[in-house]
């Protein structure tokens, strides 16, 4: 009586995945191996064609996601450009910020928040901006974009009544002002995806706001 055949020791799935990642061309060099695999889904014809179709579909999905990110950033840049033109021609920069910029930027509210009592702005107590953005961020003219924000007391300070509706925000330091100031944007939808794509255009907007306020 012969001894039972011992099953071969198989590598764990993680080892197989690691091997394929380290040798991305292995399957292409061994196309017959495709026929032993179960394809992700059946389309038609040979299993090899199914695998190739699945790989192409995954590549298309990734490319579509990258294009969507690019379009979102480009769209924001175009809206910021319109906002810059509005600030350039504005005789009343503070009024333009609060009245014109929300529609041009496609957000619910834009406020100029200042650690002082200035008509048309939202007053903040001394030290509020440094606490939220950080002193180093203020020195560099930085931004604070926490994304989704609950409607708490701090949100109301920056966004007023819009805080009850908007769940996304951007706070940009307005540079070279006599007292600390920020542009506060509140929006129901994300400003850009990813959020980092909004940073450059919005910092440019903050610098333009500073120039228009100085001119006024």
Q: What is the CATH classification number for the domain harbouring 107?
A: 3.30.450.40
Is residue 167 domain-resident? yes
Cβ atoms of residues 207 and 214 within 8 Å? no
Is residue 2 domain-resident? no
Is residue 204 domain-resident? yes
Is residue 27 domain-resident? no
Nearest to 213 by CA among 113, 104, 71: 113
Count the domains in the chain. 1
- Residues 10-50: tens digit of each pLDDT: 778 888 888 888 887 776 677 666 556 665 555 555 555 55
Calculate ∠ Cα 87-90-91, nearest 5°: 145
Is residue 46 domain-resident? no
Is residue 53 domain-resident? no
- pTM for the model stands at 0.61
- Residues 193-208: tens digit of each pLDDT: 666 677 788 888 888 9
Q: Which range marks the domain in which residue 109 is found?
A: 67-215
Is residue 55 domain-resident? no
- Residues 113-142: tens digit of each pLDDT: 999 999 999 999 999 888 887 764 554 455
Calculate ∠ Cα 7-13-19, nearest 5°: 105
- Taking CB atoms within 8 Å and a gap of at least 24, the contacts of 167-170 are 169/145, 170/143, 170/144, 170/145, 170/198, 170/202
């Amino acid at each position: 009586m012969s001894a039972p055949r011992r099953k071969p020791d198989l590598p764990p799935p993680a080892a197989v995945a690691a091997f394929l990642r380290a040798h991305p061309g292995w399957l292409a060099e061994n196309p017959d191996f495709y026929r032993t695999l179960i394809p992700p889904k059946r389309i038609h014809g040979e299993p090899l064609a199914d695998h190739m179709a699945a790989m192409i579909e995954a590549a298309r999905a990734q490319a579509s996601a990258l294009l969507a990110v690019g379009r979102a950033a480009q769209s924001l840049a175009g809206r910021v450009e319109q906002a810059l033109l509005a600030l350039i021609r504005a005789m009343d920069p503070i009024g333009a910020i609060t009245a014109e910029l929300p529609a041009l930027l496609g957000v619910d509210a834009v406020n100029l928040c200042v650690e002082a009592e200035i008509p048309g702005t939202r007053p903040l107590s001394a030290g509020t901006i440094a606490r939220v953005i950080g002193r180093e961020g203020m020195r560099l003219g930085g931004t604070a974009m926490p994304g989704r924000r609950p409607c708490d007391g701090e949100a109301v300070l920056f966004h007023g009544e819009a805080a009850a509706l908007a769940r996304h925000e951007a706070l940009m330091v307005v540079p070279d002002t006599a007292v600390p100031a920020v542009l506060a944007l509140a929006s129901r939808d994300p400003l850009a995806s990813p959020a980092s794509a909004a940073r450059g255009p919005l910092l440019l907007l903050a610098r333009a706001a500073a120039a228009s306020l100085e001119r006024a």
